[in-house]
Structure 1
Amino acid sequence: MQRLAVSVLVFLLTLAAAPQGRAQTRIKDIVDVENVRENQLVGYGLVVGLAGTGDRIRNTPFTEESMQSMLERMGINIRGTEMRTQNVAAVSITATMPPFARSGSRVDVQVAALGDATSLQGGTLIASSLRALDGEIYAVAQGNVAVSGFRGQGAAASVSRGVTTSARIAGGAIIEREVPYALRSATSLKLALKNPDFATADRIAVAINRNFPGTAQVLDPATVEVAPAGAFKGGVIDLVTQVGELEIKVDQPARVVINEASGTVVMNSEVRITPVAIAQGGLTISVTETPQVSQPGPLSNGQTTVVPRTQVQVDDGNGAHLAMVNGASLQSLVSGLNTLGVSPRDLITILQAVKSAGALQAEIEVQ
């Protein structure tokens, strides 16, 4: 784990030391265009054909009601009949409809069990409608589900990998209704920065106006408005297409991202520190139990007993020492912390302490 963290930090240092020309980024990679977005779809359906791994009907009444409704639409009335099948599972269906999707095009769908089904392996999703938040049906999903995990179970043991109650259908939904866009008639469009920043927004506007004078203005740190000037021959869509290929240097605030669950620490090249002294160490107590069996002598009236044997070791961190971390760069910070030989978990604690001491000039984001 420690080697992994050091490797990641070295990789970041390599990127930071790269030539300035390679730090240029296309505008289209750091902005979203107004009204050009995805739409989330959701639905409910039944997965059939399971090998006894579906919902238990008595525990999931909504699965039973869904089966009855489906069969009634097919002209089969089973009201009042007690069903015992475990080959059916009620599932939620989600999909993402890309911008400008046309009727007849296909999108992937994700299905997940709603009841007490143990696996969707080998199942088939029956035709189900997918709706957006406006209540309208935009797609219809159906097909064989593909489960990435597996599960095997015997009388006394079981083995599983991944999640068997979630599955995917590649191209499983067909678009039935389009989302109208009126970009061709727009006189201007707004570019929304994915990571709002004053410097980056200003550089975007400068780069656009350098190539297309008088077409861009900064509205706020997150928005740049683009409108064709009189000298530009094409429409707003042509302008945005050409603007997207322009390259600028992206500015970013100094930030340290910490994931305490996995012990991951990631810093960007803007992280700066003031000189600070750090000592790393702690108290470790190790208790080892090695009980021994004491047997009585031959022909004696003694009893066999278990004699406890306990070994206690204490490490109070006497080897820890203060280390001076000088300089104002990520290289100085990493080199100083590596000198201490800290683990990723200790690195998280040290960075938070350095921030509290006012020596870390960066924002810490804990996930």
Structure 2
Amino acid sequence: MGQKKDLTGSEKSKIVRYLAEGCSSLKIAKLLKRDHRPIKRFIQNSQQGHKKRVEKPRRQITAHELRKVKRAAAKMPLATSLAIFQSCNITGVPKSTRCAILLPKSKPWINGDVRAALAARNTAFASANTSDYKHAHYQLRKTIKAAKREYRDRVEQQFDNPRSMWQGLNTITDFRGKTSTPQTTASLCEDLNVFYARFDAANTMRPDSVRTADDVSAHTVSEEDVRKCFRKVNARKATGPDGIPGRVLKSCTAQLAGVFTHIFNLSLSLSVVPACFKMATIVPVPKSSTISSLNDWRPVVLTPIVSKCFEKLQQRRDESSSHRAAVHPE
């Protein structure tokens, strides 16, 4: 056995590798030809230095308080955790709990490749092989740069789509809109119906439309125009009283374009709008949280999507006719 003296750096690396292989302190002492006492002391000191710290019990934060803290943190990004919690009137929370709530557990750019590179780096560090550790550390830095670049490109793409951008901002700030529902009565629907129809009830006269044969022949739509209009339908729009969603019109354009072209041209030739096109669903939306009269409700009208397409086609036809008349006056 060697004499009792301090362990060198290479001997400590060998001890770590032998421990990973499952060797005992006596066997390591025989392999290194050293006294087992400094080896045992080195192993004990290493274990004491890596003892898991017992965390103190944290104060429970309710979901409502958590939302308030996240909103305050979004408004004050440079404030301390204590100032953020005090602005929300939340006291008695230790610093460790505040940091655990405010600091994210993982970065948003961390993906599976980064986690695999981290595991490889830790394995190389435990093996005490300098060359393997340097190579694993280099691969980790390279993977992190690629992951950050990919995350940056993905975030920049969100700016081209305003809907996705606002959804991301709401997720970051944990925004929750007001969901307070005003008090309503059983007769509200009938009262609103009478209130909204009061203008149409006094109007009993209907204008007489006189159309010539030239007007009837000019006001026609082609199947190609109907097909183009259906393809531009927003599939997220709410359906009207007919129950035909925009997704169906957009997906089945080739099958439905011919049918609706015939219906549109027949309506134009007879100068009659189908009754189903004139139906609408009125959704009353409160203008404020306090409702004092029927005028405090804003009527949101949901008309059939097919009717909207018909109106767009007719508007384009009228605009093109007026443009031609302006360019080539008689």
TM-score range, shorter chain: under 0.3
More strand per residue: 1 or 2? 1
How high is the TM-score relative to the length of structure 1? 0.17
More helix per residue: 1 or 2? 2
- Structure with higher Rg: it is 2
Higher relative contact order (CA 8 A, sep 6+): 1
